[in-house]
């Protein structure tokens, strides 16, 4: 057919169609069109849009993978850092979101999303201060958790922590230590204590189910898992429940959980893969498992797990999940066999090395990093810093190699699972106290002060104050500067009578009025000083 012209459209065409599909809520179609745009023109902006689409589908692993690839390609891409924070917010992990937003503000204090990031951080609930005794107990518990490779020392520190303050975290740690020591009865004792202290905590319930299973009480273990099902509130909790259910040989409960979640999020790649794993472990419906895996592969073409599970031989009965994982690793290892060979295409070699990097096998990560150093793959090395599973020694080696290659620093890394800049950038002075001040002002004024006034004027005014004033606010906390700032906000809102009333009713009226006058003198607005 010589008169037929092939349809070869530019990347902008596919991006526009993808954005239209995304606005219409057709996320699978939007993902397909964004991938078509990436094949035409590989850029960070399109990859961010594809990652945001995956996040809207609750495919957070795929979204995080794309954001981290952007950071590896361009460490100055702070929009990808903000995208990671959005992904964690959609997943329901506020703690991780706050940590990533803090990293974003360190990297780009005047960035496009900086004001929005500060607003989010200021609105988060402030952690309550614990009594000193409980704080010391938690510190000891954390130290004991860090020494789990030394069972005797971990036991001593955990028991000392339990004596200082009986916290649920310490009970969970003692339960875990007794499970490793093959003492299920003692583990059960602390598992019940943790559940009584935190009845709505998922981890305590899962630990109780594990202890009951080890104690040879399968029916009670299954009942504990049933009780834990309604406690799965966030996105990350459902996979944790499924992994525990399959580990304890209850894949039907994992299947039930995933079916519930897929009714709400039918395009989540993680949920589809977990459902396929549960079906495979039961060995009861091959056709359904294959269809689920094909759908997962269609939604995320870069996910190797779906392809690995499709290549696995089918079996007639239930199979040990560990054996199933070994087969998966074997398949993925075969995929990465060519990584060490001579390749004419550097991009193909890079993809193979990244596949090796993500293999869950001992020594495979180190081998991939070694080959990246040999091939001077700077993008791959920065991506290795973001994997979060590197030994501490490798971080220093990779940073030295990047310096020798002349690559720009700082770059992003996840040494303990948390995103940060290496080498770290110092936080602006008294920034934490500024956050506390803004939060208290918003709480004290009960919405009477406009948020934009608080968010924009107060930080500027704070930084114009002398260091002695900021130090006084941070150390004394006698309410002088907080009251003065509250009166200043009322003056800015056009109510000088209310401001004067606040000043007269202050506990230290003379000191507050002096602070108030200092604020007025250092402000950019024109006010009369009384």
Task: Name the band, by pLDDT with cuts 50, 70 and 90, for residue 313.
Answer: low
Residue with tokens 């339990």: 162
The model carries a pTM of 0.71
Q: Which two tokens stand for residue 190?
A: 């602390």
CA pair distance 344, 322, nearest whole angstrom:
37
Q: Which of 158-172, 360-374, 407-421, 440-454 has the highest mean pLDDT?
A: 407-421
- Is 165 within 8 Å of 137 (Cβ atoms)? yes
Same fold, 43-123 and 132-334: yes
**How many whole angstroms separate alpha carbon 276 and alpha carbon 288?**
8
User: Which pLDDT score is estimated for 52?
Assistant: 92
Q: Is the pLDDT of residue 108 over 70?
A: yes
Give the DSSP letter of residue 75: T
DSSP state of 91: T
Estimate to the nearest angstrom the gap between the alpha carbon of 296 and the chain centroid. Answer: 22
Distance in angstroms (rounded) separating the CA atoms of residues 247 and 250: 8
Q: 5 vs 362, which has greater pLDDT?
A: 362
Model confidence pLDDT, tens digit, residues 48-79: 999 999 999 888 888 988 999 999 888 888 89
Contact by Cβ (8 Å): 470, 433: yes
3-state SS of 263-311? Answer: HHCCCCHHHHHHHHHHHHHHCCCHHHHHHHHHHHHHHCCCCHHHHHHHH
Tell me: the pLDDT tens digits for 243-255? 889 888 888 898 8
SS3 track for 391-452 = CHHHHHHHHHHHHHCCCCCCEEECCCCCCEEECCCCCCCCHHHHHHHHHHHHHHHCCCCCHH
Q: Please state which of the four CATH numbers 3.40.50.10860, 1.25.40.10, 3.30.230.70, 1.10.1060.10 is assigned to the domain occupying 132-334.
A: 1.25.40.10
Choose between 99 and 324: higher pLDDT: 99
Alpha-carbon distance of 272 to 284, in angstroms, equals 17
- Per DSSP (E only), the strands in 239-294 are none
Which tokens is 362 given?
Answer: 């001992």
CATH superfamily of 43-123: Tetratricopeptide repeat domain (1.25.40.10)
Is the pLDDT assigned to residue 7 strictly greater than 70?
no
Q: What is the mean pLDDT of residues 427-444?
A: 64
- 38-42, 85-89, 131-135: which has the highest mean pLDDT? 85-89
Tell me how crowded residue 466 is: count the other CB atoms within 10 A of its CB.
Answer: 10
Q: Say what the pLDDT of residue 445 is.
A: 62
In the chain, where are the structural domains located?
Answer: 43-123, 132-334, 337-422, 431-522
Q: Contact, 66 vs 47, CB < 8 A? A: yes
What is the distance between the alpha carbons of residues 496 and 527, in angstroms, rounded to a whole number? 10
Higher pLDDT, 438 or 270: 270
């Amino acid at each position: 057919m010589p008169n037929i012209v092939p349809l070869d459209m530019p990347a902008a065409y596919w991006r526009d169609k993808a954005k239209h599909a995304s606005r219409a809520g057709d996320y699978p179609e939007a993902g397909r069109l964004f991938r078509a745009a990436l094949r035409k023109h590989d850029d960070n902006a399109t990859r961010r849009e594809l990652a945001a689409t995956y996040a809207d589908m609750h495919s957070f692993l795929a979204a995080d993978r794309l954001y981290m690839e952007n950071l590896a390609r361009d460490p100055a891409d702070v929009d990808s850092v903000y995208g990671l924070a959005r992904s964690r917010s959609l997943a329901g992990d506020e703690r991780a979101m706050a940590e990533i937003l803090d990293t974003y503000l360190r990297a780009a204090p005047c960035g496009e999303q900086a004001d929005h990031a500060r607003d989010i951080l200021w609105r988060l609930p402030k952690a309550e201060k614990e009594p000193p005794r409980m704080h010391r107990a938690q510190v000891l518990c954390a130290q004991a958790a860090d020494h789990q490779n030394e069972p005797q020392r971990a036991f001593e520190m955990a028991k000392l922590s339990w004596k200082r303050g009986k916290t649920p975290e310490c009970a969970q740690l003692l339960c875990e230590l007794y499970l490793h020591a093959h003492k299920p009865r003692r583990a059960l004792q602390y598992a019940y204590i943790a559940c009584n202290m935190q009845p709505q905590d998922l981890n305590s319930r899962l630990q109780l189910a594990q202890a009951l299973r080890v104690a040879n009480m399968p029916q009670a273990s299954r009942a504990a898992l049933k009780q834990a099902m309604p406690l799965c509130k966030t996105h990350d909790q459902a996979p944790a429940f499924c992994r525990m259910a399959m580990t304890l040989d209850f894949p039907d409960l994992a299947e039930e959980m995933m079916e519930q979640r897929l009714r709400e999020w039918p395009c989540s790649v993680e949920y589809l893969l977990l459902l396929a794993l549960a079906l495979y472990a039961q060995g009861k419906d091959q056709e359904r498992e294959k269809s689920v895996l094909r759908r997962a592969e269609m939604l995320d073409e870069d996910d190797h797990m779906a392809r690995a599970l499709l290549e696995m031989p089918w079996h007639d009965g239930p199979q040990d999940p560990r054996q199933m994982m070994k087969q998966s690793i074997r398949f993925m290892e075969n995929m990465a066999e060519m990584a060490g060979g001579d390749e004419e295409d550097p991009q193909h070699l890079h993809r193979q090395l990244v596949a090796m990097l993500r293999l869950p096998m001992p020594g495979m990560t180190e081998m991939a990093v070694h080959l990246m150093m040999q091939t001077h793959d700077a993008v791959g090395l920065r991506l290795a810093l973001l994997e979060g599973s590197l030994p501490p020694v490798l971080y220093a080696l990779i940073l030295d190699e990047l310096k020798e290659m002349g690559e720009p620093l700082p770059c992003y890394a996840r040494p303990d699972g948390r995103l940060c800049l290496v080498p770290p950038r110092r936080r602006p002075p008294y920034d934490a106290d500024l956050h506390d001040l803004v939060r208290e002002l918003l709480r004290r004024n009960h919405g009477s002060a406009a948020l934009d006034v608080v968010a924009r004027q107060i930080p500027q005014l704070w930084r114009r104050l002398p260091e002695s004033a900021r130090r006084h606010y941070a150390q004394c906390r006698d309410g002088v500067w907080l009251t003065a700032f509250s009166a200043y906000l009322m003056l800015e809102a056009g109510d000088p009578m209310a401001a004067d009333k606040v000043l007269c009713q202050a506990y230290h009226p003379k000191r507050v009025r002096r602070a108030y006058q200092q604020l007025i003198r250092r402000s950019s607005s024109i006010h009369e000083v009384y």
